[in-house]
Chain A
Amino acid sequence: MTWTKLDKFCLVAAIAALLALIFPLAGVDGDTGKQVAFVGDIPGLAVAMALCVIAGSAFTWLGVGSVTAGMVILAIAVFGCWQAISVLYDYGVAGYAGPGFWLFIASLWAFVWRGIDVIANFHSLDRTKQHLANFVVPVAFGVWLLFVWEVVVSGFGVPQVLLPPPSMIGERFVNSTDILAADFHQTFVKAVLSGYVMGCGSAFIVAIAVDRVPFLKRGLLPLGNMVSALPIIGVAPIMVMWFGFDWQSKAAVIVIMTFFPMLVNTVTGLNAAGKLEKDLMATYASGYWSTLFRLRLPAAMPFVFNALKINSTLALIGAIVAEFFGTPIVGMGFRISTEVGRMNIDMVWAEIALAALAGTAFYGAVAYIERKATSWHPSFRVRRH
């Protein structure tokens, strides 16, 4: 077998794991002057490292051709990750991780990459299998990133005011659900939803009105396009002055932020219907409203949903940033800015995780409705006859 045919990732994994067995696992504790832990004292870790050496060298020769082989590799890597975490927390290596530990992590990294690689290149005609593979890859990658975050932060003993490990954030998230729920209610349910509905709704109605006046359309459209490039978020302090500290001022910011994307998209969408289709409606002597509802609005739907999706993220950003300018003592933006001040960075991260979840769910919901409402659109078509 030639050098090029060897599986280089597995080779790296094997060598790194072998070196991990040789190099010291952990550094020296300053107080006791002794090394914190030895591989020999931790059977689970020793087994994991040995497994990595064996599997690494075996797959270096065999190659990782099949998904099964990829799964085996990933399974070994998962076992390794579990041992690494337990070493950090159960054997006090956290903060004292030495070269042996990091070599082991490098070995795991090579395995995970190779395993994900195999599954990513998996092609199947069976659609469920393909979907499963397409789902597993990003999830595995995300979990791996979380693991690296955890291990690096704990292993190097990064002070938690800088960056807490994900486990700590998760714990904080679970323990402060009541605060998070209150913040969510204040920011999302009250401010975001009402502002979003008002902003998008009014822009939609204005767009239909503007569409009837070509002069206005030509005047407003370039301005509307320009406005979307401006830092509208800056109106937040003004809105806080006008509408007070509570959710109304945040909703007002959101209305302003969401108005123009919706206006521009709807006006563009109303002109999206083809010439032939418009002629068709003319041959039926179809009136303005009839043509609007039967042809132009349905044809505009992809554009409208595009704006709805853009606005779903804008709305949440608007609410959170507006809260930096003043709120009652509840709300996601308020929590972030005050907990940052108190250096409770784990709480900040929990709040960010909540914002991420809310943002993704909101966007996902709009995208889901879009898929249902405009399933006819070429971008959603699936051949199914």
Chain B
Amino acid sequence: MSGQTGPVCVVLIAILVLWYVGAVFMNAPTQIDRYNRADQTWTTGQLIEDTLAQDRPILPAPHQVAVEMYHTIFAIKITSKRSLVYHSWVTLSSTLLGFGIGTLLGVLLAVGIVHVMTLEKSLMPWVISSQTIPILAIAPMIIVVLGAIGIKGLVPKAVISTYLCFFPVTISMVKGLRSPQVIQLDLMRTYNASKWQTFWQLRLPSAMPYLFASLKVAIAISLVGAIVGELPTGAQAGLGARLLAGSYYGQTIQIWSALLTAAFVAAILVVIVGWCERRVLARMGVKS
């Protein structure tokens, strides 16, 4: 659709304005309370100014979050425990590891399901119904159980990410590998092509759009898995840990900046996958 940029900018600005208004209104009661306790007289202008500069506001103003993000991303050494770059990297590394393994597993399983009837009939119903299960619920258990046998840090979180992103990949890959039409498959039969020739020449290329569609979902959910995987370990490192620490100590600005950073990381990951998608599909002659 053409001409999206203008409307999107307007909506973003509207959100920003609403955010400021919301911040003033939500923070005003505590601020007024503070004035009253200090027996201080106040004007509306002063109130607005103070509500947007509280230490632990109920809703921090956008510029407060921006300042905090600038501090923790650019102004602090990235090896520091307070650096958001450090925490993002912790989360990102397990996201990517889990995404890689999960995608590989998902594709392999899909190939098996498409080629072995018994696998399809016995496994596919479970793969599909597993989509309806709140899989994230097992995250704490995986962390703690793997921790109990000495596996800590990156791997347990990657396991959760793997587990989460492997189902969408399997499902759309099966769909994609099945997407060639009957006449195309018949054409391959007239060439007496082997199963593997049909796979490489026809099924896999046809499945590419489906694969990338699911990869976008998978990378996003992989990040969610890594973040949730950081919650049960008691706030050591990672964006999830920052969220948890922030909520323990009421550091709303810290929560918001971790949240926005997570959103940026997700957006960048999805954009990268989308870019790969366009490159691959363009090379295959598919119009984007």
Contact = CB atoms under 8 A, between A and B. Distances in A.
Contacts of A359: 132-134
Nearest to B245: A237
B137 A332 contact: yes
Contacts of A140: 122
B254 to A, nearest CB: 10
Nearest to B250: A241
Interface in A107-165: 113, 116-117, 120-121, 134, 137-138, 140-142, 161-163
Contacts of B90: none
Interface in B126-170: 126, 129, 131-138, 140-141, 144-145, 148-149
B123 A141 contact: yes
A23 interface: no
B118 interface: yes
Contact of B117 (A120, A216, A337): A120
Question: Which of A237, A317, A356 has the most chain B CB atoms inside 10 A of its CB?
Answer: A237
Interface stretch (B70-78, B177-185, B200-208, B224-232): B224-232
Nearest to A218: B7
Interface string A213-239: 001111110110010111101111110
Question: Which of A226, A229, A325, A348 has the most chain B CB atoms inside 10 A of its CB?
Answer: A229
B7 A219 contact: yes
B267 A226 contact: yes
A313 interface: yes
Contacts of A117: 117-118
Contacts of B6: 219
A287 B146 CA distance: 62
A189 to B, nearest CB: 15
Contact of A116 (B122, B135, B217): B122
Given A241-B58, A340-B140, A230 B252 contact: no
Interface in A182-225: 215-220, 222-223
Nearest to B127: A138
A149 to B, nearest CB: 14
Interface magnitude class on chain A: 35 or more
Contacts of A325: 231, 244, 247
A120 B122 contact: yes
Contacts of A326: 247
Contacts of B135: 317
Contacts of B12: 223
Contacts of A141: 122-123, 126
A336 interface: yes
B270 interface: yes
B220 interface: yes
Contact of A229 (B117, B136, B252, B267): B267
B145 A345 contact: yes
A333 interface: yes
Contact of B228 (A142, A233, A316, A345): A233
A238 B256 contact: yes
B124 to A, nearest CB: 8
B137 A320 contact: yes
Contacts of B129: 360
A238 B252 contact: yes
Nearest to B122: A141
A364 B132 contact: yes
B119 to A, nearest CB: 9
B225 to A, nearest CB: 9
B132 A230 contact: no
Nearest to A360: B132
B284 to A, nearest CB: 24
Given A120-B122, A360-B129, A234 B258 contact: yes
Nearest to B234: A341
B29 to A, nearest CB: 13
A231 B141 contact: no
A362 interface: yes
Question: Which of B224, B246, B250 has the most chain A CB atoms inside 10 A of its CB?
Answer: B224
Contact of B121 (A138, A215, A231): A138
Interface string B238-271: 0110011011001010011011001100110010
B161 to A, nearest CB: 12
20 contacts: A116-B118, A117-B117, A120-B118, A137-B121, A138-B126, A162-B145, A162-B149, A216-B7, A222-B8, A231-B224, A231-B263, A233-B224, A321-B136, A324-B140, A345-B145, A351-B137, A355-B133, A355-B134, A356-B133, A360-B133
Report, nearest first, the 3 A-B pairs whose CB atoms are least far apart: A219-B7, A237-B247, A141-B122
Given A238-B252, A317-B135, 15 more contacts: A116-B118, A121-B117, A215-B10, A218-B1, A218-B8, A222-B4, A223-B8, A226-B267, A231-B224, A234-B240, A236-B243, A237-B246, A317-B134, A317-B136, A333-B137
